[in-house]
Amino acid sequence: MQVPRYWREIPKRYRLEAAQCKKCHNISFPEKFSCPECGSQDFKTIKLSGKGKISTHTIIRIAPEGFNDQVPYGMGIIEMDEGPRIMAQITDCDPEKLKTGDRMIYQFRRIREDGSTGVIMYAYKFVPDVGI
């Protein structure tokens, strides 16, 4: 039963809510208890724009449990325009054609389900920003 763990992260997973340090303006995603740059514990919640670019990526061909039906799938670290980097699946594309620096945009997608009777888990993924 993964429900509480899944549910707790919803603001970040659904809406890309990040924490911006009020002192040094560094943005953490996900939030940290204190700012890794200046140590301040005074944050405000901001919503990331969902736009960024591929910092590095790979193609997962042997998947963990729950992802077997999706292989091969793109996976990458997306550097958001606001600065934070996010590990995410890159979907809706031919993963062979992805390149470092490609522009990416947030989409809301299914990540996995807890078996055929359990909860369905949703979160951000990224897709090539081709204007659709």
Binding site for other proteins (CB under 8 A): 5, 9-10, 14-15, 30, 47, 55-67, 69-70, 73, 75-77, 85-89, 91-92, 94, 100, 107-112, 115-116, 120-123, 125, 130-132
Of 5, 72, 74, 11, nearest to 46 by C-alpha is: 11
Quote the least distance from Cβ 58 to other proteins, whole Å: 4
23 vs 114, beta carbon nearer other proteins: 114
From the CB of 25, what's the least distance to other proteins, in Å? 16
Q: In angstroms, give the least distance from the CB of 23 to other proteins.
A: 19
Question: Is the CB of 10 or the CB of 38 nearer to other proteins?
Answer: 10
Element (H, E) at 44: strand 43-47
SS3 assignment, position 103: strand
Closest by alpha carbon to 12, among 26, 25, 23, 28? 28
Closest CA to 119 of 14, 4, 9: 4
CB of 82 to other proteins, least distance (A): 14
Of 23 and 85, which has the nearer Cβ to other proteins? Answer: 85
Report which of 22, 46, 48 is spatially closest to residue 35, judged by C-alpha positions. Answer: 22
